[in-house]
Structure 1
Amino acid sequence: MLGAITRDVGEVVARVPEDAQLACEFKYDGQRAQVHCGADGSVSLFSRHLENMTDKYPDVVALVPRFRGTASSFVLDGELVAIDRATGAARSFQALAGRGRKDVDAGSVSVSVCLYAFDLMYLDGVALLDRPLRERRELLRGTFVELPLEFAPVRSIDAAAADTDAVAAFFRDAVAARCEGLMVKLLDHVDDGRRRPLLASYEPDRRLESWLKVKKDYDSGADSLDLVPVGGWHGQGRKAKWWSPILLAVRDPDSGMLHAVCKCMSGFTDAFYQEITDKYAEDSINVTTACPLDLDTPIAPELYWVPQEVWEVRFADITLSPVYTAAAGLAHPDQGLSIRFPRFVRRRDDKSVDDASTPEFLADLYRRQETRGPDAPEDPEEAPLPLLDI
């Protein structure tokens, strides 16, 4: 099941009746995992796209007999999150990506994970999909055994839809804990007679209003960068007639160099796609086949764009990058920085290329990101620069 996207906490609560009861859950920055356990003890793990990833997580397979409690067979939904066993702190998705993908030996696992369970779809021969979340959650909590830093229910609170202050405060807690944001779910079926009934059942492969997600990169208060579009590739499928994705860069004011930082293909309307495709047409003066001397990019787009505008872009996280060289040496001696899940917000007509975000600003955002969390120093300026262990 998938969550419908919302822009902020206000929009979340506006989509459901005021008297609806909600479960607000941390949206962890990990890998979605569905655990299937048979009555014979067999265990399989599947990704959100139904990829069999059992061989990738032998440590989780070995964990199932310890947390299964009274269950003989079940299908459980959760999130696998990289965890620091010494401190109990969640690590970044980038750390999780450092694990091997296939035929991983349990003895060689260097990145520990915790499975945070948030739903139960099948238990001891009984399908639970049509039952409300409140009932599924009670079975989940009452059946399985919590193992600190290995297996636990997702961190959550219950709140009425009208209690926006409680939901907003919990959203801030989630961001401080280095989560992506919140999942807000109906606990019970809702039929107020004024709208189509909202069901709290589990609907596989569907994106419904009963599950709403608000991510820190969608929130209007989230950090953003002002980036320069410097190249593009022709899209695939429906986007084949447009430029998508588009290469974006920060600008060093001292050298005048543009440093590529990411490719972006999210947040654009069809009308905007058409507008930039017309502006940067292959036969126009706004494109070139040769890389400009003032552009530093590790990847070559199909055509380079003459730098002339600035776009505001939001994102999920800033990550160390072995590919991109933006801010190289400012956050890590050997690696640059890139951004995950970039999303176009708007064209900054009030800014010129000279006003684009700088590598130092990008590095500063990274440093602030890495010092967030319950154990972060009071003053980020006093915090040592942490480096991801990949």
Structure 2
Amino acid sequence: MQTPLAPYMLRPHQTLLLCRCSHTSLVPTPRSQIRFFCNSKPSRRSRKKPTEDHSSPSPSPPPGMSSQRTVADKKAKKSPQAQDVALPRLKKPKAGENQDGNGNIPQLPDASTPNEEKEEKVELELRKKGSDFDPKTVACWNEGESVPFLFLARALDLISNESGRIAIADILTNVFRTVIATTPGDLVSVVYLSANKIAPPHEGLELGIGDASIIRALAEAYGRKEEHVKNQLKELGDLGLVAKASRLSQRVMFKPKPLTVSKVLDTFRTIAKEAGKDSQDKKRNHIKGLLVAATDCEPQYLIRLLQSKMRIGLAEQTVLIALGQAAAYCDTLPAPPPESQSPLEEAAKIIKQVYSVLPDYDKIIPNLLRLGVWKLSEVCKFSLGVPVKPMLAKPTKGVSEILDKFQGIEFTCEYKYDGERAQIHYMEDGSVEIYSRNAERNTGKYPDVVNSVSRFKKPSVKSFVLDCEVVAYDREKQKILPFQILSTRARKDVAMGDIKVEVCTFAFDILFLNGEALLQEQLRTRRQHLYDSFEEIPGYFQFATALTSTDLEEIQNFLQIAVNSSCEGLIIKTLDGDATYEPSKRSNNWLKLKKDYMDSIGDSLDLVPIAAFHGRGKRTGVYGSFLLACYDEQNEEYQSICNIGFQSIFLGTGFSEKDLEDRSTSLRSKVIPRPKKHECSFCVPAILSVRDTLNPDVWFEPAEVWEVKAADLSISPVHRAARGAIDPNKGISLRFPRLLRIRDDKNPDQATTAEQVAELYRAQKINHVNNQTEENDE
């Protein structure tokens, strides 16, 4: 592969040989002597081992390299085989420190070695608030030049030392302010990398490279053996730290051209688009190119971004808040309206609202820089081909509670189907896209749904967006099948002839029709558009079964019919007044009532496995029980809530021993080192809040979401869920939890929140008091 002359890493004992050739190709090798040779087959003479010319003086070594021959140099001369000098054994450093094995900060002759005093000054500046911060004091590049990736990497490293959400948001706000003030064109790249993304979710652009390929690329870039890299990974527990250690052990002959944020993002996108034969080799070459040019802590964050494991506790919601605040502070953008009471909070709210409607930074940020934050919602609107975040429902425990909440308000009840949420986009050119609740493309998963669109839409419909539930369906028996059946369907590139699980689409809302967004219309109006624009095809496309009533007995009977029809329960929605569609919001205008609400807590919970205990006896080799956690949005941490054993996994759930083995296998690849006190944000992708007395055998990075049902909630001195919300020193735990299903359609940060856990506890307590009162009345 033809490459331009680039800096290659040399150890103190290594030499550099150049082949005088008009067409030079650089191929880095782990040999003790790095050779530059041409693509054409070298002549027999050129392949001869070069002889030393003692008559001429030896060239002076690069600065910082000894002119004396080392033992390693002599060994290298004897053997041309691959060498791998042992790297200094690094203890896990405190976040932000570049320590060597002796605890010292390595002083490299590399021009990129940071000036400690200047770096400390930048760190202090980035921590400042509001008007105390001046972007010019931290920008290490000229106005209009590309933003160095090192600036962002060091900022991320600084964030890794913080645990408070506000402090993290302040640092990131100042990073964005600096970019806006100097090189606003790079803001898109900085935001994407800060959010650990490379493109909008609906584009389906994935890096598609595993740890094995990254390890190989790292080893080749730094002239190491893969075996040694893997051994150091076991010691440090973080491939990013291994990359950083590998880079710090190197010397460079030439100063590398600094990486920029736009270069990094563009390379990531190129990696994601590589396909076909030799695509993995091409991806590794791109990664090697980045690592060779990386300095300081850049390798650490390049690797973490490639793994999609930032490990600093930075959630996308904080990125949105920081982006809004940065725009509000910017002098070159329009000032807030005079009536604004809290400009920073309002700006952050606008950004989050706009992103829920148009989750695409490539479209949001240029408009933000052009118009400012205050007019952003006027131009960044819901459009075809970009899925909105789905509206969500709050749990309720009984029909009487619904009637109390909706007094004097007309509402409707719909079946709550046990399937997969789907957003169907039909374009004016006749193309169809289907998106999941996470805005991921599911079009290839449901070719049968795509084919049925032309049959169920009326001729007058030129474009639309439907909010639906795709459900496994037996057309012969006209019966809804369990979600577990649907989950066996392949996820990508499904061929019509290979379909074994048939589905039916149940539509319950319409968000866009013939070029107009309907989000601000009342549900009654949207529903009428839905009924007028489509025709039901039994077993293929149907409207959600609904009942509009305020009669207690009628609603209870309707709930029972829904349960008998293999549905989870009911969704209750207001029809008028405040009945607009609110993307990403868990609204009081939508309530959900499930079949087992009457005898247990008011909702199932979506929890994240964060640790496990080894099985005993016949279950040796698999995990016997799991520690589950909810997600605290405010502190961006996962808080333990219960321990679920294998009996709870199997009891009446349809799960088998094979399922337990599969879960153990899946989670085994997510094992991380034990989080240490005050170092959790350094060791894992997000902070884990777990009491010290809990000692699981293994810990996991948050990766999966499990839907769990429990008898009730109780105050717990052991678990940390919603700690301080109900009791100042205690958390909340689940009693008798049982696993319902694995939520493949959810990310860990979409798990049940600590706030929701507290709400469920309060609702349970109120209902318990009401039940006691009713018994006393009787």
TM bin, normalised by shorter chain, reads 0.5 to 0.7
Q: What secondary structure is seen at the aligned counterpart in 1 of 2:597?
A: coil
Distance across 2 between alignment mates of 1:50 and 1:219: 33
Deviation at 1:169, TM superposition (A): 1.2
Structure 1 segment 131-142 matched on structure 2, within 5 A: 131-142=521-532
Match of 1:281 in 2: 693
- In the alignment, does 2:710 pair up with 1:343? yes
- In the alignment, does 2:570 pair up with 1:182? yes
Deviation at 1:219, TM superposition (A): 3.0
* Equivalent in 197, 201, 204 of residue 580 of structure 2: 201
Match of 1:246 in 2: 643
Structure 1 segment 1-390 matched on structure 2, within 5 A: 1-17=391-407, 19-69=408-458, 70-160=460-550, 163-189=551-577, 199-220=578-599, 231-233=625-627, 238=632, 243=640, 246-250=643-647, 281-282=693-694, 340-343=707-710, 345-346=712-713
Contact preservation (8 Å) 1:26, 1:174: yes
Contact preservation (8 Å) 1:232, 1:302: no
Greater per-residue strand proportion: 1
Q: What's the TM-score once normalised by structure 2's chain length?
A: 0.32
Larger Rg: 2
Q: Which amino acid aligns with 1:158?
A: T
Deviation at 1:54, TM superposition (A): 0.5
Deviation at 1:124, TM superposition (A): 0.4
Greater per-residue helix proportion: 2
Distance across 1 between alignment mates of 2:471 and 2:406: 30
Find runs of 4+ consecutive structure 1 residues off by over 6 angstroms: 221-224, 259-263
Q: What secondary structure is seen at the aligned counterpart in 2 of 1:99?
A: coil
Q: Which amino acid aligns with 2:582?
A: E
Deviation at 1:182, TM superposition (A): 0.3
Distance across 1 between alignment mates of 2:455 and 2:627: 49
Distance across 2 between alignment mates of 1:216 and 1:242: 28
User: CA 1:121/1:170 → structure 2, altered by over 3 Å: closer, same or farther?
Assistant: same
Distance across 2 between alignment mates of 1:14 and 1:51: 38
User: CA 1:110/1:187 → structure 2, altered by over 3 Å: closer, same or farther?
Assistant: same
Deviation at 1:241, TM superposition (A): 7.7
Deviation at 1:184, TM superposition (A): 0.5
Distance across 1 between alignment mates of 2:601 and 2:478: 26
Deviation at 1:340, TM superposition (A): 5.0
Q: Which amino acid aligns with 1:185?
A: K
Q: Which amino acid aligns with 2:693?
A: A
Contact preservation (8 Å) 1:7, 1:220: no
How many residues get paired?
A: 267
Structure 2: give runs of 5+ residues left out of the alignment.
1-390, 604-612, 614-623, 649-655, 664-688, 701-705, 716-734, 741-778
Q: Which amino acid aligns with 1:46?
A: Y
Report % sequence identity: 36
Distance across 2 between alignment mates of 1:16 and 1:47: 30
Contact preservation (8 Å) 2:397, 2:601: no
Distance across 1 between alignment mates of 2:518 and 2:643: 43
Contact preservation (8 Å) 2:413, 2:570: yes
Structure 1: give runs of 5+ residues left out of the alignment.
190-198, 252-258, 264-275, 290-300, 304-338, 349-355, 363-390
Q: What secondary structure is seen at the aligned counterpart in 1 of 2:647?
A: strand
Distance across 2 between alignment mates of 1:50 and 1:207: 17
Q: Deviations over 1:257-289 (max 9, x none)?
A: xx99989xxxxxxxxxxxx965x814xxxx685
Deviation at 1:342, TM superposition (A): 2.6
Deviates more, 1:230-239 or 1:27-36: 230-239
Deviation at 1:60, TM superposition (A): 0.3
Distance across 1 between alignment mates of 2:513 and 2:410: 25
Deviation at 1:5, TM superposition (A): 1.4
Distance across 2 between alignment mates of 1:288 and 1:94: 29
Deviation at 1:45, TM superposition (A): 0.5
Q: What secondary structure is seen at the aligned counterpart in 1 of 2:559?
A: helix
Distance across 1 between alignment mates of 2:487 and 2:462: 32
Distance across 1 between alignment mates of 2:475 and 2:465: 26
Contact preservation (8 Å) 1:77, 1:119: yes
Contact preservation (8 Å) 1:133, 1:187: yes
With a CA cutoff of 8 Å and minimum separation of 6, indicate the structure with the bigger relative contact order: 1
Q: What secondary structure is seen at the aligned counterpart in 1 of 2:451?
A: helix
Deviation at 1:344, TM superposition (A): 5.5
Q: What's the C-alpha RMSD, in Å, of the aligned pairs?
A: 3.6
Contact preservation (8 Å) 1:2, 1:208: yes
Q: What's the TM-score once normalised by structure 1's chain length?
A: 0.61
Contact preservation (8 Å) 2:392, 2:586: yes
Contact preservation (8 Å) 2:601, 2:711: no
Q: Deviations over 1:27-55 (max 9, x none)?
A: 00000111100111010001111111011
Distance across 2 between alignment mates of 1:93 and 1:131: 32
Contact preservation (8 Å) 2:395, 2:602: no
Deviation at 1:343, TM superposition (A): 3.3
User: CA 1:114/1:235 → structure 2, altered by over 3 Å: closer, same or farther?
Assistant: closer
Q: Which amino acid aligns with 1:122?
A: F
Deviation at 1:216, TM superposition (A): 2.0
User: CA 1:241/1:127 → structure 2, altered by over 3 Å: closer, same or farther?
Assistant: closer
Q: What secondary structure is seen at the aligned counterpart in 2 of 1:341?
A: strand
User: CA 1:9/1:73 → structure 2, altered by over 3 Å: closer, same or farther?
Assistant: same
